[in-house]
Amino acid sequence: MTDHIAGVKSAGSAADTEDSPSTVTTAVSESGMEDLTISESSSNVRVAASDTNSYASAGTNASVPAPAPARSADEPAPTPSRTDNHALSTSSSGLVLFDLTDRLGGTRCFSPHTVKTLLDLKLLNVGYERQRLTFVQVRNELADKIGDNVTVPALELSDGSHIVDSWNIAEYLERRHPEGHRIFGDSATKRLAAMLNSFGKTVLAPSIGPLAQKGVHAMLDEESKAYFADVKIGKTRWAKVSNLSASERDAHVQAAVAKLEVINAMLTCESAERGGAGENGRSRSRGRQPVWLAGGDQPTHADFVLFGWYVFTRAAGEKTAKEIWGAHKPVWRWVEAMLEWSGELAQDFV
């Protein structure tokens, strides 16, 4: 494998997709099993030109607004700049999305983080050019364009500046798009989205990562396979992940199911509130419309940050994904609703 990765530039960070589930540190859990935890670097730390020299472009994340409560529906968007007018239209003339895929010319989508941005853009009907890159292209070509520590998703605006990290992109869309309030809905939903963003990376990823990584590796081209196993995950960890025993595999599945119980409780509570009591004390139908994590008629970024992890789980195979996400009926109904809402985008999900 060494020959395949000789030309891959060594980056200051091994993360290609934010705090990637394959950029992990290894620790022994109380049960004696190896856990795969997220790296210490936070993907939600904004990077400005004055903060670090790891990004080549001084415009990286310069368009991201300062932290603020969620924008309300009656709060107007700031006066758009020429860049915003070009970038946030329904045409694809002003915005480029850098995504991750399996091989040159491939279309398979498996990154939990790029899924979030794809769905944000769909929610607001924003047009864009989609450039799907392999791991090696991210580390070489995109790093040359933006900076050594670049991750995907990354957005290029019409003025050539870039926004990196799905949360930064969501906040940019929230503040700059005329309908941007729909990304979070309100401050309570924004807090829920932030919590679920962390929940996915720090709670779900250690259980799902070891199951999905072998499937991701299998779909990659040879050059990306070598980089993924030897550099991104590391040879020692890859030797363990790629040779999970049946009992270790089952333990990871059951751990993931247990962690999704909190989501099941949220959806069960929401269903009960929607059902309520109708006339004559009869229960109203709970199946007439999907139940999103924050309620309402449309999903929000809170749904997208969790759904990305479902898509990533599919890399472990249909059986494993159904075992984990189908163990709780309300969670599975939510998954099916999200797949339907995703429309044509779902055709690319692994």
Domains of the chain in start order, with CATH, are 188-348 (1.20.1050.10)
Confidence of residue 47 (pLDDT cuts 50, 70, 90): very low
Confidence category of residue 145, pLDDT binned at 50, 70, 90: very high
320 pLDDT higher than 70: yes
pLDDT at 308: 98
Is 80 exceeded by the pLDDT of residue 9? no
Closest CA to 151 of 241, 58, 45, 242: 45
Distances (CA, A) of 316 to 175, 231, 234, 260, 301: 36, 21, 19, 17, 24
Average pLDDT score over the chain: 80
Question: Of the ranges 91-95, 213-217, 319-323, which one carries the lowest mean pLDDT score?
Answer: 91-95
pLDDT band at 102 (very low <50, low <70, confident <90, very high): very high
Please, which pLDDT band fits residue 148 given cuts at 50, 70 and 90? confident
The arithmetic mean of pLDDT across residues 165-194, rounded, is 94
- Residue 32, pLDDT above cutoff 90: no
Would strands 129-133 and 96-100 be described as parallel, antiparallel, or unpaired? parallel
**For residues 255 and 36, what is the distance between their CA atoms, to the nearest angstrom?**
13
Single-letter amino acid, residue 125: N
Mean pLDDT of 131-160: 93
What confidence score (pLDDT) does residue 35 get?
31
Tokens (6 digits) for 281 = 């004390």
Q: What is the mean pLDDT of residues 42-62?
A: 41
Q: Name the pairing type of β-strands 34-38 and 24-28.
A: antiparallel
Phi, psi dihedrals of residue 125, rounded to the nearest 5°? 55, 45
- Half-sphere exposure for 31 (CA within 13 Å, toward CB): 8
What is the pLDDT at residue 66? Answer: 62
pLDDT band for position 281 (cuts 50, 70, 90) = very low
* Average confidence (pLDDT) over 272-296: 58
* CA 284/CA 273 separation, integer angstroms: 10
What tokens appear for 247 in the block? 């009992």
pLDDT score of 149: 86
Buried b (16+ CB within 10 A) or exposed e, 259-288: bbeebbebbeebbeeeeeeeeeeeeeebee
Window from 60-64, 162-166, 233-237, 288-292 with minimum mean pLDDT:
60-64
For residue 298, pLDDT over 80 is answered with yes
Lowest mean pLDDT among 19-28, 96-105, 231-240: 19-28
What's the rounded mean pLDDT across residues 160-175?
94
Has residue 299 got a pLDDT over 50? yes
Overall average pLDDT of the 164-185 stretch: 94
Q: Is the pLDDT of residue 52 over 50?
A: no
What pLDDT does 291 receive?
85
Tokens linked to 309 = 């992890």
Dihedral sign for Cα atoms in the order 7, 154, 39, 317: negative
Confidence grade of residue 94 (pLDDT, cut at 50, 70, 90):
confident
Average pLDDT, stretch 6-35? 44
**Above 70 in pLDDT, residue 8?**
no
Q: Is omega for the bond preceding 21 within 30 degrees of 0, making it cis?
A: no
Query: Which pLDDT band holds residue 257 (cuts at 50, 70, 90)?
Result: very high
Q: How confident is the model at residue 20 (pLDDT cuts 50, 70, 90)?
A: low
Mean pLDDT of 63-72: 63
